[in-house]
């Protein structure tokens, strides 16, 4: 996380089966534990001492600027607590003063998931965010797994319960709550009074907050059980997400259900609506779906160039960095869709696997064109190039020029990523990215037009194509 005003970053760290600093010091100071001269080995070479079931966790203040970037402060968690999530929250009750909020779990075991209890720690910023002051900790039933700022309060996912907290003198004050997810809340996004809750294994659920009655009401959820890894709101109606099986998708709330949720009423009609198949009364529509062959770890809506078009930027566990770019020209959409159709038949895989089945590995591909396949047009023999060009009613040179335009987008990505991407999004997206690996760039259809993808490696740029689908979500 980044400080709202200052160039200072905050990170949370947790290392499992590792002795925390206070326990290491206690063991070294105990005369009955040390046998002879105990020499502390350098952690950089040998690592920290191991301890089964123990957690070493901390929150750090980092100054990335200057000639000597350094860690300004490190606060270690005690009582075998492990940091799970964090957020910078401005509380309206404190004149919108920002606070750092960290969620921890005590005696946490990841698989099978077990714990003793959870805590929400609150810290105040001092010296322009370069130092943290502990305020208080609030005990909760489960370790918080997702949190964010919401209308001057704190929105937290505790297990399958969604809660709204305000800042009190001795602890956080619970203001509203609801069971918003079937299993475990892993991600939160919000616009206005609408909240998108990502569940561990049951996809996304839309929740509306009614300020008049201070209630959180789920009103629409997904039709597919997705093992969610990341989510981001594309617009007020749509959400993009990824799952642990390598799929990226865009979901949209039905227009009628959206209008009912936004009505200025107490929401009694939503509360008393009849649920469908143990879920909410309404279901989300799948607008786009694509198998990427990498597990998405984060996704964000941003602009790579100042004043440029907004895109969806995502990262994968294998080092993939992908970009989903919306197109509005239907002529280009139809061109790349036709080109992909020809490439599927004229350039089959060496192993004989059908390309359409590959991109539809878990769910049928929708609204997405594989640009890696389209760019292989330049590698075809001359006779096949001429045949495809005749079907498209274009010259070979014109087709190759049209395909080669896409690397310009990738060049802008490489040039402007470190200069114009907001630091919090850049820091989050580069998590788990491996240096020196081949980066896959994916482009997806939006604004009722198409999806495109790019792939780059150390040899240079490679382009992708796009496809058309009516009713695609708009980025605007």
Question: How confident is the model over 131-168, as pLDDT tens digits?
Answer: 999 999 999 999 999 999 999 999 999 999 999 999 99
Confidence check: pLDDT of 48 > 60:
yes
Residue 221 lies in a domain: yes
**Do 359 and 434 share a structural domain?**
yes
**Do 4 and 136 share a structural domain?**
yes
Residue 324 lies in a domain: yes
Element counts in the chain: helices (H) and strands (E): 11, 26
Give the neighbor-by-neighbor strand order of the sheet with 282-283.
Answer: 185-191, 194-199, 203-210, 215-221, 282-283
Confidence check: pLDDT of 174 > 50:
yes
Maximal C-alpha separation, the chain: 86
Confidence check: pLDDT of 46 > 90:
no
Radius of gyration of the chain (CA): 25
Q: Which of 165, 169, 204 is nearest to 185 (CA)?
A: 204
Q: Which of 103-107, 213-217, 232-236, 438-442 has the lowest mean pLDDT?
A: 438-442
Residue 383 lies in a domain: yes
**Do 124 and 80 share a structural domain?**
yes
- Write down the pLDDT at residue 476: 28
Question: How confident is the model over 232-254, as pLDDT tens digits?
Answer: 999 999 999 999 999 999 999 99
**Do 449 and 320 share a structural domain?**
yes
Give the neighbor-by-neighbor strand order of the sheet with 81-91.
Answer: 81-91, 97-106, 117-126, 131-140
Q: Which residue matches tokens 């040998």?
A: 46
Q: Which residue has the higher pLDDT, 13 or 36?
A: 13
Confidence of residue 267 (pLDDT cuts 50, 70, 90): low
Q: Which residue matches tokens 């990824």?
A: 242
**Do 216 and 78 share a structural domain?**
no
**Do 449 and 310 share a structural domain?**
yes
Mean pLDDT of the chain: 80
- Write down the pLDDT at residue 271: 62
Residue 475 lies in a domain: no
**Do 120 and 6 share a structural domain?**
yes
Structural domain total, the chain: 3
Q: What domain range includes position 49?
A: 1-154
Question: Residue 206 in 3-state DSSP?
Answer: strand
- Write down the pLDDT at residue 268: 60
Where among 120, 154, 188 does a domain terminate?
A: 154
The H or E element containing residue 235 is: none
- Write down the pLDDT at residue 269: 58
Strands 215-221 and 203-210: antiparallel
Question: How confident is the model over 87-103, as pLDDT tens digits?
Answer: 999 999 999 999 999 99
The C-alpha atoms of residue 341 and residue 339 are separated, in whole angstroms, by 5
**Do 264 and 323 share a structural domain?**
no
**Do 386 and 247 share a structural domain?**
no
Question: How confident is the model over 323-375, as pLDDT tens digits?
Answer: 887 777 888 888 888 998 999 988 888 888 888 888 898 889 998 888 778 88
Residue 247 lies in a domain: yes
Confidence check: pLDDT of 436 > 80:
no
**Do 451 and 358 share a structural domain?**
yes
Contacts of 350 (CB under 8 A, 6+ apart): none
% of the chain residues with pLDDT over 90: 45
Confidence check: pLDDT of 377 > 50:
yes
Confidence check: pLDDT of 468 > 50:
no
Residue 288 lies in a domain: no
- Write down the pLDDT at residue 298: 93
**Do 457 and 354 share a structural domain?**
yes
Residue 174 lies in a domain: no
Where among 138, 154, 170 does a domain terminate?
A: 154
Confidence check: pLDDT of 278 > 80:
no
CATH of the domain at 376: 1.10.150.910
- Write down the pLDDT at residue 140: 95
- Write down the pLDDT at residue 408: 36
Residue 318 lies in a domain: yes
- Write down the pLDDT at residue 444: 32
**Do 125 and 11 share a structural domain?**
yes
Confidence check: pLDDT of 15 > 60:
yes
When pLDDT is averaged across residues 18-24 and rounded to a whole number, the result is 88
Q: Cα 451 to the chain's mean position, in Å?
A: 19
When pLDDT is averaged across residues 422-445 and rounded to a whole number, the result is 33
* Token duo for residue 369: 């064109």
């Amino acid at each position: 996380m980044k400080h709202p005003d200052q160039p200072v970053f905050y990170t949370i760290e947790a290392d499992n089966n590792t002795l925390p600093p206070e326990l290491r010091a206690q063991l070294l100071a105990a005369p009955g534990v040390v046998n002879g001269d105990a020499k502390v080995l350098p952690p950089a070479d040998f690592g920290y001492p191991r301890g089964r079931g123990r957690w070493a966790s901390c929150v750090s203040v980092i100054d990335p600027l200057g000639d000597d970037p350094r860690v300004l402060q490190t606060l270690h968690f005690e009582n075998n607590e492990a940091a799970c999530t964090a957020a910078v929250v401005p509380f309206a009750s404190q004149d919108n003063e920002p606070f750092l909020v960290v969620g921890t779990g005590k005696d946490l075991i990841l698989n099978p998931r077990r714990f003793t209890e959870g805590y929400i720690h609150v810290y105040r910023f001092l010296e322009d965010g370069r130092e943290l002051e502990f305020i208080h900790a609030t005990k909760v039933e489960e370790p918080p797994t997702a949190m964010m700022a919401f209308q001057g309060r704190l929105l937290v996912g505790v297990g399958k319960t969604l809660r709204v907290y305000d800042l009190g003198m001795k602890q956080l004050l619970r203001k509203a709550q609801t069971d918003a997810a079937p299993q475990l809340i892993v991600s939160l996004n919000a616009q206005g009074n609408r909240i998108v809750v990502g569940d561990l294994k049951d996809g996304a659920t839309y929740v509306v907050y009614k300020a008049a009655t201070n209630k959180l009401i789920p009103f629409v959820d997904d039709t597919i059980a997705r093992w969610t890894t990341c989510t981001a709101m594309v617009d007020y109606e749509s959400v993009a997400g990824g799952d642990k099986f390598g799929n990226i998708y865009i979901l949209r709330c039905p227009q009628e259900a959206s209008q009912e949720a936004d009505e200025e009423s107490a929401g009694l009609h939503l509360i008393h609506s009849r649920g469908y198949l143990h879920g909410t009364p309404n279901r989300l529509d799948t607008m786009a779906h694509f198998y990427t062959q990498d597990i998405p770890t984060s996704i964000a809506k941003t602009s790579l160039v100042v004043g440029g078009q907004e895109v969806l930027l995502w990262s994968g566990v294998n080092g993939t960095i992908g970009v989903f770019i919306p197109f509005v020209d239907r002529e280009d959409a139809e061109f790349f869709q036709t080109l992909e159709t020809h490439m599927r038949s004229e350039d089959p895989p060496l192993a004989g696997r059908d390309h359409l089945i590959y991109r539809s590995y878990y769910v049928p591909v929708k609204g997405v064109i594989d640009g890696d396949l389209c760019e292989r047009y330049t590698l075809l023999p001359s006779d096949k190039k001429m045949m495809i060009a005749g079907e498209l009613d274009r010259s070979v040179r014109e087709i190759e020029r049209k395909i080669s335009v896409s690397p310009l987008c990738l060049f802008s990505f490489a040039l402007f990523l470190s200069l114009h991407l907001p630091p919090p999004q850049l820091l989050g997206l580069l998590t788990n990215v491996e240096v020196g690996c081949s980066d896959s760039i994916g482009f997806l259809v939006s604004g009722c037009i198409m999806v495109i993808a790019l792939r780059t490696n150390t040899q240079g740029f490679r382009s992708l194509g796009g496809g058309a689908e009516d009713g695609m979500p708009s980025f605007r």
